[in-house]
Amino acid sequence: MKPKLLLLSLPLALAAFIGWPAADDTPVPAHLAEQVSYERMAGSLHAVLDAAQETCVAQGARAPTNHAAFLRLTGRRIATSGAEFSFALRSSSPINPAALPQTEIEATTLEALAQGTQTAPSFHEETLGGRAYFTAIYPQRATSSACADCHNDQPASPRHDIREGDLMGALVIRIPREF
């Protein structure tokens, strides 16, 4: 290669490598995320749902419904609104049989939580109905004696020995990986 051509091609190659700004490129503000991790999105959804549950618990007898019913009704409403995520309470010993684990990941995670081999939230990838999902599973504990008493007083409850701090199940959040 001739020296002049080499000198001219180096700046062009460097510009191509680092990205030559096009006239119509609008810079993206540094504070805006171009991508959000599934784990971070699930964490945000968990914070909202957890706050809603705590609000129901704090209202006690004044609450329009108990937190599990609230989440179930909210989940149905979200599902019919076209939102691209879902959530459900799951338990190995639920008051409502519909809250039993529905997938292998739910069952094995609940078992690990119950055995104490897992204590933190867990994150998984799974395929359901031919669609790929990111699945986050958050342990649910009796956050107060009122939670334990409410569950223990339910005639349909398979357990009547729940105490504050005991594992009661898990909140499962699913986010589709493809839209």
Fold of 38-176: Beta-Lactamase (3.30.450)
Q: What are phi and psi of 11, to 5 degrees?
A: -65, -35
pLDDT for residue 70: 78
pLDDT for residue 57: 73
Q: Are 139 and 113 in contact (CB under 8 A)?
A: yes
**Order of strands, sheet of 86-90, starting from the edge strand that comes earlier in the sequence:** 86-90, 167-176, 131-141, 122-128
pLDDT for residue 51: 76
Structure tokens that stand for 91 in this block: 């338990």
Between CA 14 and CA 18 the distance in angstroms is 6
Between CA 92 and CA 169 the distance in angstroms is 7
Q: Flag residues of the chain having pLDDT under 70.
A: 1-34, 59-65, 179
Between CA 63 and CA 59 the distance in angstroms is 5
Largest Cα separation within the chain, whole Å, is: 90
Residue written as token pair 């995520």 = 85
**What are the residue boundaries of the structural domains of the chain, listed by start?**
38-176
Strands in 49-166 per DSSP E: 86-90, 122-128, 131-141
Strands in the chain per DSSP E: 86-90, 122-128, 131-141, 167-176
Dihedral angle computed from the Cα positions of residues 165, 170, 171 and 173, in that order, rounded to the nearest 10 degrees = 140
pLDDT for residue 33: 52
pLDDT for residue 41: 84
Q: Is 159 left (phi over 0), alpha (psi -120 to 50) or beta?
A: beta
